[in-house]
Structure 1
Amino acid sequence: MVTNRRQADDSDFPTLSDKDRAEAIGCLYDVALDPARYEALLDHWESAVSPLRARADFAAPRLLDDPQIASHFRRAGEFLDRIALTEDPDEIDAILAPFDRVAALVFDQQHCIRAANEAARTRLNLPDGARLGDLPINADDIEAVSETVRMLVHDNDKDSAVLRVRSRVEGHLIVLRLQRHLAADGTPLVIAASNDVAWPEGFCDILRSAFNLSGTEAEVVRHLVDCRSVSEIAAQRGRSVDTIRAQIKSILAKTETHSQLELVRLALSVMDMTNLTLQSAPGPRVISGGDGMLKALDFKSLVTPDGRRLDYLLLGDPGGTPVLYLPLDFGFVRWPASAEAEAANRGLRIIVPLRAGYGLSDMVDRKTDYDAALIADTLQVLRAENVTRCPILCISGDTYYAVRLTRQTPGMFSAIIACSGMLPLTGREQYERMDKWHRFILAGAKYTPHLLPFMVKAGFLLARKIGKRGFLHAVYGNSPGDISTLEETEVFEAIVTGSDTALSDTNCAHEAFSRQLVSGQLGDWSDEVNALRGQLPVIYMNGAQDPQVPLATFEEFRRDYDWIEFHLFENVGQLAFFRHWRDVLDRLTPLLEE
């Protein structure tokens, strides 16, 4: 049931019935606590809100402009932020960063292991979702650690403790130092660092080479670094205590050290030098690389006039003819390996700016017009590449930015090729035709923009939780052509690798994604499009199974913009470029001469 609710300005606007409101809020908090419930919220929300859209003024939609609903979305967003903290390794990585060599863990209040560094995962062989009880130490020691964690979480008078525990696997003593740490949201965590050192692969060979040790002697050094006593080493190696002492005496002579403590310090110093050498080996600071087919590429960096970092990639031939590529708000910055190789063969330099908030490109502040910053950043990248004229190749909604760039800098761009291209959406039915995932986000941006940030953030966290393959299968599930395209090995590698700029273990571009949608692209920019008539070629290469631009909408575009050159691929949808990149490059090539 749909009812009207009166605002303070005495104007009526559609809102939810009490029943739909209660159910929607229930779904909202379900998602806030578990992003895997996202699709249930999507389905319920669409069934409740779709009738409201039919009653809204399309030119000035105003749905659910309700302080109560907004407050629930805001509160649910705070829950999502906490989930993002538990899964976002940025803060956790910073906590664990000082412990590069020793095993280190982070416990939460429920004694779950929130994170573990590589040394801990290697030394302790922890399963996914491990708890304190999974640590390979004696049962009595597990209880002692549990009590200490509980004390550090709840007792503000004490913030650290040191425990000696015994390994259940190898039997040697381990010293644990536990420290309370408050997360950014005030959640108490406990860091546990041990003296259990992660032994670098091949380090025994380094010790043998550096000090002329035998293989046996190098293993004895390893046991000493692990804090084992002489008797423990003897028992471990099946030798007498006197034999181990003789081997240690030989090691001390060869390393010119005078005690076991000095020997251990020397070994740790050499380990540090080895790690430093490995970490500072020649190579790009930040790269984009795939699973074997894609070539690893350096990200290039600029500094914007307002001091932000701005990254970009070059695909194809770094010295070739320039083409500006706009990769959609999903961050599809890489092409299938064969497409990138063909671009190089054709002498094309594909310039791919990473917009603000994607990858390591710094986000703009909230007061800055995101669209204006995107346009300015793109032009700065082109200036850095000494580009004075080039065509634009774009995907889906990025057609809006292609048009804005062309209008803002007349004569700089020679053509626009829009793959799965969008044009201004000028009627409610164009939203209603979309597949439910695209309609949920785009109609949300159009009709309830104040609620969009939660919807987008939840979607990003869902993708992180279920993995990109599962998420993409959900989003494109009603487009068989897109699903089959996605399952092509080169395509999947390109999409997953490229979209790391939008979502990875260390990056989540949900804010930038939202700000693009609520800026200008869902308004009526048809005058801007029509102003390009006769100025340059505008070519659309769309798929018939596009969940965002279905056939009926595509035909309306073709009717309303009869001067645009349209192509339609029957066997694909929004991923048309990734399936038909050869056709796209064939159409692009003659435009380079114009």
Structure 2
Amino acid sequence: MVSNRRQADDTDFPTLSDKDRDEAIDCLYDVALDPARYEALLDHWESAISPLRARADFAAPRLLDDPQIASHFRRAGEFLDRIAVTETPDEIDAILAPFDRVAALVFDDENRIRAANEAARTRLNLPAKARLGDLPINADDIEAVAATVRLLIHDGQKDSAVLRVRSRVEGHLIVLRLQRHLAPDGTALVIAASNEVAWPEGFCDILRSAFSLSGAEAEIVRHLVDCRSVNEIATQRSRSVDTIRAQIKSILTKTETHSQLELVRLALSVMDMTNLALASIPGPRVVSGGHGTLQELDFKSIITADGRRFDYLLLGDPTGTPVLYLPMDFGFVRWPASAEAEAKRRGLRIIVPVRAGYGASDMVRPKTDYDATFVADTAQLLRAEHVTRCPIISLSGDVYYAVRLARQHPTMFSGIIACSGMLPLTRREQYERMDKWHRFILAGAKYTPHLLPFMVKSGFLLARKIGKRGFVHAVFANSAADIATFENAEVFEAIVTGSDICLSDQHCAHEPFSQQLVSGQLADWSGDIDALRGQLPVILMNGAQDPQVPLATYHDFTRDYAWIEFHLFEDAGQLAFFRRWRDVLDRLTPLLSE
């Protein structure tokens, strides 16, 4: 794969070829329109950027410092903010639920209209059992639509198209945007949305914000979507034809489109996304409840030094011996019911902080150091719980916070057990070894941190769309141990319930998730962990099937930190704690008396 080199600040750095850039931008907007296409973006992005990582300076990586790419990622992220995933997978009619203002239909490969929303039936005057030929468009255009539907259903290389067709009403054009869609049973269908729209309130403001258009330019886009000619727009706006043409040229430049048709396609896509506005967030959750065997628990709160709300949970015995538990960035704040019961039987008070931006905990203020704030918040929480000394159990990358806490408060902690622990990543190959989902996010945070917010946000929306089970099966597809662990009924309940603080129908913690990755976790903090040598026990308990810390990387850790105590479970992956929690609690016991 060929890459160009761009000059910036007198320093060369690798960047994408024009072809790869254009294809990546296409994938980007596909994901903005439908988060279910996230994996296609992931695959294309990895194939394009992996060769660039090989040429980057690992100590100071600088990839894709490209204003054009950055602007597209920012814009696509703004579009994602307006998406609500409301599709119900067991009814074809639900496919059309998001199109409340747009006339929309669903075609099958026999040209039958399988579903039509109320706007389509009213504006297009369709009979009860309609076919493509019942649309009020000219006969020649009926065949063009039929051919395009066949192409989208049967050609896996193309999944969307935009057509302008002539209405039977003289002088009137209709724009149809057609999109391939797989029904829950695997049947290929085509969604067709027309420009028979009620222009959404405030949509001109959205266009102005997203594309830096003037008010007049946004109105011209509206006229173009309504299929008005340049002459008609000039008459309507009392301007010359040359003036309107100059304004359209400016609009094409600002939107980075190359024709009026492409511009209309972009505007209709944005309008669809605008119509899918995210539901407003209700009041804060105060209860963590299971779906079967987990005990319902109240979230507790403290007010931080800077006036924010900071929530936490107490698992096990609320008056027992304290243990700090750091649940990683997925927010796994609950344990399997048997594990919580065992913690209570052993007299353990498991203190679980809900970090800023998760659940009802207030987000940190802008330009605030997220890592330093979380460490300070957690120390304040332990003091509020009257803890003078305790061990830490951390999951995955949260060993970074465990080490920072132990460094800043050396007398407060008696040891660290890092389950699926990820120690400092100091070699490029440690990123390349990861499974593709983990590599996409973590290598993105390392090499292209300015593009990370969109990557994370779209991943979260994908998880909301396909459900947590579908998302876990995608992310851990190559770890049989993790899939088997997740499908244990108690583990499933704990992960799905606990992770509600990270992602639920009412809450999405994509912003703090991103901030954690770009703050300090992926820097070289080996000096901090080495400073704990001889000061307190550090124990790693990892799974051999961990997609983020595969065996080769685990063995790097054992060589780099020979003084650390290592345990490897052949039957576990990144969810090792949920599979081997009994081993973790057994190893914890001697740390309680130190």
Name the TM-score, length of structure 1 as normaliser. Answer: 0.69
Look up the equivalent residue of 1:404 and give its one-letter code: R
Look up the equivalent residue of 2:102 and give its one-letter code: Q
How far does residue 110 in structure 1 lie from its aligned partner after superposition?
2.5
Partner secondary structure for residue 102 of structure 2: coil
Look up the equivalent residue of 2:547 and give its one-letter code: P
- 2:65 is equivalent to residue 69 of structure 1: no
Q: Number of residue pairs matched?
A: 426
What is the match of residue 404 of structure 1?
A: 404
Partner secondary structure for residue 58 of structure 1: coil
Look up the equivalent residue of 2:380 and give its one-letter code: Q
What is the match of residue 537 of structure 2?
A: 537
User: In the TM superposition, what are the counterparts of 1:17-36 in structure 2 within 5 Å?
Assistant: 17-36=17-36
Instruction: Mark the CA change 1:357 to 1:488 in structure 2 (over 3 Å): closer, same or farther.
Output: same
What is the match of residue 110 of structure 1?
A: 102
What is the match of residue 39 of structure 1?
A: 39
Q: Distance in 1 between matches of 2:448 and 2:441?
A: 10
Q: Distance in 2 between matches of 1:411 and 1:433?
A: 37
State the Cα RMSD in Å: 2.6
How far does residue 287 in structure 1 lie from its aligned partner after superposition?
0.5
Q: Distance in 2 between matches of 1:59 and 1:181?
A: 48
CA deviations 1:357-377 (Å, max 9, x no partner) are 000001112211000111111
Q: Distance in 2 between matches of 1:392 and 1:434?
A: 26
**Conserved 8 A contact 2:546-2:573:** yes
Q: Distance in 1 between matches of 2:403 and 2:503?
A: 27
**Conserved 8 A contact 1:481-1:545:** yes
**Conserved 8 A contact 1:2-1:15:** no
User: In the TM superposition, what are the counterparts of 1:297-336 in structure 2 within 5 Å?
Assistant: 297-336=297-336
- 2:354 is equivalent to residue 347 of structure 1: no
- 2:528 is equivalent to residue 528 of structure 1: yes
How far does residue 302 in structure 1 lie from its aligned partner after superposition?
1.3
How far does residue 107 in structure 1 lie from its aligned partner after superposition?
8.7
What is the match of residue 256 of structure 2?
A: none
Q: Distance in 1 between matches of 2:374 and 2:465?
A: 29
Q: Distance in 1 between matches of 2:398 and 2:499?
A: 15
**Conserved 8 A contact 1:453-1:514:** yes
**Conserved 8 A contact 2:290-2:493:** yes
CA deviations 1:217-239 (Å, max 9, x no partner) are xxxxxxxxxxxxxxxxxxxxxxx
Instruction: Mark the CA change 1:130 to 1:414 in structure 2 (over 3 Å): closer, same or farther.
Output: farther
What is the match of residue 14 of structure 1?
A: 14
Look up the equivalent residue of 1:41 and give its one-letter code: L
**Conserved 8 A contact 2:502-2:509:** yes
Look up the equivalent residue of 1:474 and give its one-letter code: A
Q: Distance in 1 between matches of 2:572 and 2:422?
A: 16
How far does residue 590 in structure 1 lie from its aligned partner after superposition?
1.5
What is the match of residue 295 of structure 2?
A: 295
Q: Distance in 2 between matches of 1:21 and 1:107?
A: 31
How far does residue 24 in structure 1 lie from its aligned partner after superposition?
0.8
Q: Distance in 1 between matches of 2:396 and 2:52?
A: 27
Partner secondary structure for residue 351 of structure 2: strand
- Select the structure of larger CA radius of gyration: 1
**Conserved 8 A contact 1:395-1:419:** yes
- 2:371 is equivalent to residue 379 of structure 1: no
User: In the TM superposition, what are the counterparts of 1:217-296 in structure 2 within 5 Å?
Assistant: 286-296=286-296
Instruction: Mark the CA change 1:22 to 1:413 in structure 2 (over 3 Å): closer, same or farther.
Output: same
Unaligned runs of 5+ in 1: 89-104, 113-128, 141-179, 189-283
Partner secondary structure for residue 366 of structure 1: coil
- 2:427 is equivalent to residue 435 of structure 1: no
**Conserved 8 A contact 2:3-2:14:** yes
Runs of 4+, deviation exceeding 4 Å = 105-108, 129-135, 180-188
Q: Distance in 1 between matches of 2:407 and 2:430?
A: 25
Look up the equivalent residue of 1:361 and give its one-letter code: S
Name the TM-score, length of structure 2 as normaliser. Answer: 0.69
Q: Distance in 2 between matches of 1:325 and 1:359?
A: 17
Look up the equivalent residue of 1:581 and give its one-letter code: W
How far does residue 355 in structure 1 lie from its aligned partner after superposition?
0.2
Instruction: Mark the CA change 1:435 to 1:531 in structure 2 (over 3 Å): closer, same or farther.
Output: same
Look up the equivalent residue of 2:379 and give its one-letter code: L
Partner secondary structure for residue 69 of structure 1: helix
Q: Distance in 2 between matches of 1:65 and 1:561?
A: 35
Q: Distance in 1 between matches of 2:542 and 2:61?
A: 29
Look up the equivalent residue of 1:486 and give its one-letter code: F
What is the match of residue 260 of structure 1?
A: none
**Conserved 8 A contact 1:4-1:13:** no
**Conserved 8 A contact 1:403-1:528:** yes
Look up the equivalent residue of 1:545 and give its one-letter code: Q
What is the match of residue 466 of structure 1?
A: 466
**Conserved 8 A contact 2:396-2:418:** yes
Look up the equivalent residue of 2:49 and give its one-letter code: V
**Conserved 8 A contact 2:356-2:374:** yes
How far does residue 305 in structure 1 lie from its aligned partner after superposition?
1.9
Q: Distance in 1 between matches of 2:285 and 2:446?
A: 40
- 2:555 is equivalent to residue 563 of structure 1: no
Q: Distance in 2 between matches of 1:409 and 1:107?
A: 54
CA deviations 1:90-147 (Å, max 9, x no partner) are xxxxxxxxxxxxxxx99942279xxxxxxxxxxxxxxxx9954799xxx99xxxxxxx
Q: Distance in 2 between matches of 1:75 and 1:426?
A: 33
Partner secondary structure for residue 541 of structure 1: strand
Partner secondary structure for residue 415 of structure 1: strand
Q: Distance in 1 between matches of 2:62 and 2:71?
A: 17
Instruction: Mark the CA change 1:317 to 1:32 in structure 2 (over 3 Å): closer, same or farther.
Output: same
**Conserved 8 A contact 1:542-1:573:** yes
Look up the equivalent residue of 2:403 and give its one-letter code: V
Partner secondary structure for residue 62 of structure 1: coil
Look up the equivalent residue of 1:417 and give its one-letter code: I
**Conserved 8 A contact 1:82-1:185:** no
Percent identity (aligned)? 78
**Conserved 8 A contact 2:101-2:119:** no
Q: Distance in 1 between matches of 2:512 and 2:333?
A: 16
Instruction: Mark the CA change 1:480 to 1:55 in structure 2 (over 3 Å): closer, same or farther.
Output: same
Q: Distance in 1 between matches of 2:38 and 2:464?
A: 12
**Conserved 8 A contact 2:103-2:120:** no
What is the match of residue 50 of structure 1?
A: 50
**Conserved 8 A contact 2:482-2:574:** yes
Q: Distance in 1 between matches of 2:285 and 2:48?
A: 49
**Conserved 8 A contact 1:2-1:52:** no
What is the match of residue 450 of structure 2?
A: 450
**Conserved 8 A contact 2:333-2:352:** yes
Instruction: Mark the CA change 1:556 to 1:131 in structure 2 (over 3 Å): closer, same or farther.
Output: same
How far does residue 187 in structure 1 lie from its aligned partner after superposition?
7.5
Instruction: Mark the CA change 1:10 to 1:551 in structure 2 (over 3 Å): closer, same or farther.
Output: same
CA deviations 1:59-107 (Å, max 9, x no partner) are 00000000011111111111111115x669xxxxxxxxxxxxxxxx999
Q: Distance in 2 between matches of 1:542 and 1:592?
A: 21
Instruction: Mark the CA change 1:451 to 1:106 in structure 2 (over 3 Å): closer, same or farther.
Output: closer
How far does residue 381 in structure 1 lie from its aligned partner after superposition?
1.1
Look up the equivalent residue of 1:493 and give its one-letter code: E
Instruction: Mark the CA change 1:182 to 1:336 in structure 2 (over 3 Å): closer, same or farther.
Output: farther
Partner secondary structure for residue 574 of structure 1: coil
Q: Distance in 2 between matches of 1:497 and 1:571?
A: 24
User: In the TM superposition, what are the counterparts of 1:84-233 in structure 2 within 5 Å?
Assistant: 84=84, 108-110=100-102, 131-132=117-118
What is the match of residue 506 of structure 2?
A: 506
**Conserved 8 A contact 2:481-2:573:** yes
Q: Distance in 1 between matches of 2:31 and 2:531?
A: 44
CA deviations 1:452-499 (Å, max 9, x no partner) are 000000000000000000000000110000000000000000000000
